[in-house]
Amino acid sequence: MEKKNNQKRPVGIYLHIPFCVRKCNYCDFLSAPAKEETRRQYVRRLQEEIRQYEDAKDYQVRSIFFGGGTPSILEPSEIAGLMETLRETFSLEAAGEERVPEITIECNPGTLTREKLRTFREYGINRLSLGLQSADEQELKLLGRIHTWEDFQANFALAREMGFENMNVDLMSALPGQTRASWKHTLEKVLALEPEHISAYSLIIEEGTPFYETYGRDAQIREQGGIPRWLPSEEEERGMYEDTEQILGQAGFSRYEISNYARPGFACIHNSGYWQRVEYVGFGLGASSQLKRLRYKNTDSLPEYLQGDFSKREVLVLTKDDEIEETMYLGLRMMEGVDLEQFYQNYQVPAEVIYRSQIEKLQQQGLLQKKGSRLRLTKRGIDVSNRVLAEFLLD
């Protein structure tokens, strides 16, 4: 007998679309340009993988996220086919007091059309995540983006015209040659469009990218406390973070996670699920899944995936210590922090016992605070969050 809806476990679904028009200079994601026939074949395999998922009826879907790459590079019929397959396989309808799932698709300006947006709406996609990165034309060229600020404005306006009322804009700070003034200018131009959500990340120079070849040494100099030649200094980068919080706060956005800001009611349900350790299942090339204590991922090889190889890779059964670590260092990324009462209910031991010395030290340093039943980062703690979160890794 099938479980009733209210007994089903909440789950997030991630679909990886590993294709883009052109690889950006900073990008180390599992993505690359591909021919149209390759994309069509990939979508067919993705539908096949979804249909083969045996435990689908055990879950109530709370969110779906089309990530990439550039999912909006797909044809409208391909997105429609994927959504139909998901609806045939999983429970996507609202159950009881639950709302219809949040369904997000990542889009790059220059890849959106009226027909695509109409299809997104028709098939239940209710949130767009637009990859802008910068409103400065020179910075966009440096990053290797395929669009201009004008392209972005046109796509944003078209999405509004087509009825989208939940839109995120991705931005990137600490770019080579970027100043606090140019970063403020980007924030102000984006705010004038009145999006519901803004993700603002600092650039990380990743090995294997064109940016690493050019700026890798500069990044190392900054990490060692020196003054970089091209990248903003550590002090300038921290200033950009402070400007972000101040400017977005004044515009009515709340910071709910270290790098994410939203108007009331528009925090991203899918990404919050990762930080709150909600179960998730990933479909597509290199996609990861975590269901209860089981974690695994798909093949990173496109030829293997196109041959129908959906076997689990890097299978890991999480220990209790693994779960405790993740609860702390993921939960503390969120401004609401970790609920200590819920922690005790989950693990039958107080976090204050496991992490007594770490908590006391970080509180004395003004990096961590306890308010009611919640443990969370202070403003200073957010500034050095990587160092603080590392304290919660168990030996």
Summarize pLDDT for 106-128 with one digit per residue, the tens. Answer: 999 989 999 999 999 999 999 99
Q: Judge residue 153's burial from the number of C-beta atoms within 10 Å of its C-beta, 0-12 exposed, 13-18 middle, 19 or more buried.
A: middle
189, 249 contact by CB (below 8 A)? no
Closest to 180 measured CA to CA, from 245, 238, 138: 238
Share of the chain above pLDDT 70, in %: 97
- Tens digits of residue pLDDT in 255-285: 999 999 999 999 999 999 999 999 999 999 9
Measured between its terminal Cα atoms, the distance across the chain in Å is 44
The pLDDT of residue 230 is above 90: yes
What are the C-alpha distances in Å from 267 to residues 11, 41, 104, 256? 17, 34, 12, 7
The residue count of the chain comes to 395
- Tens digits of residue pLDDT in 29-52: 889 889 999 999 999 999 999 999
Work out the mean pLDDT of the chain and round it to a whole number. 94
The token pair at 23 is 């690889």
For residue 99, what pLDDT is reported?
Answer: 66
The pLDDT of residue 4 is above 60: no
The token pair at 57 is 């009826």
**Position with higher pLDDT, 8 vs 361:** 361
The pLDDT of residue 360 is above 50: yes
Helix (H) or strand (E) holding 170: strand 167-173
The pLDDT of residue 310 is above 80: yes
Share of the chain above pLDDT 90, in %: 89
The pLDDT of residue 394 is above 90: no
Q: What is the mean pLDDT of residues 178-188?
A: 97
117, 159 contact by CB (below 8 A)? yes
Is-cis flag, bond preceding 163, omega within 30?
no
Q: What is the mean pLDDT of residues 238-261?
A: 96
Q: What is the mean pLDDT of residues 164-183?
A: 97
For residue 93, what pLDDT is reported?
Answer: 74
For the whole model, what pTM was predicted? 0.94
The token pair at 78 is 């391909």
Which region, left, alpha or beta, applies to residue 277 given φ > 0 means left and ψ of -120 to 50 means alpha?
left
Angle CA 209–129–18, to nearest 5: 45
For residue 2, what pLDDT is reported?
Answer: 41
The pLDDT of residue 1 is above 60: no
The token pair at 215 is 């700026």
Residue 98: which pLDDT band, with cuts at 50, 70 and 90? Answer: low
64, 15 contact by CB (below 8 A)? yes
Sheet order of strands, 102-107 included: 254-257, 260-262, 197-202, 167-173, 127-133, 102-107, 59-68, 9-17, 280-283, 288-291, 294-297, 313-317
Return d(Cα 12, Cα 269) in angstroms, integer: 9
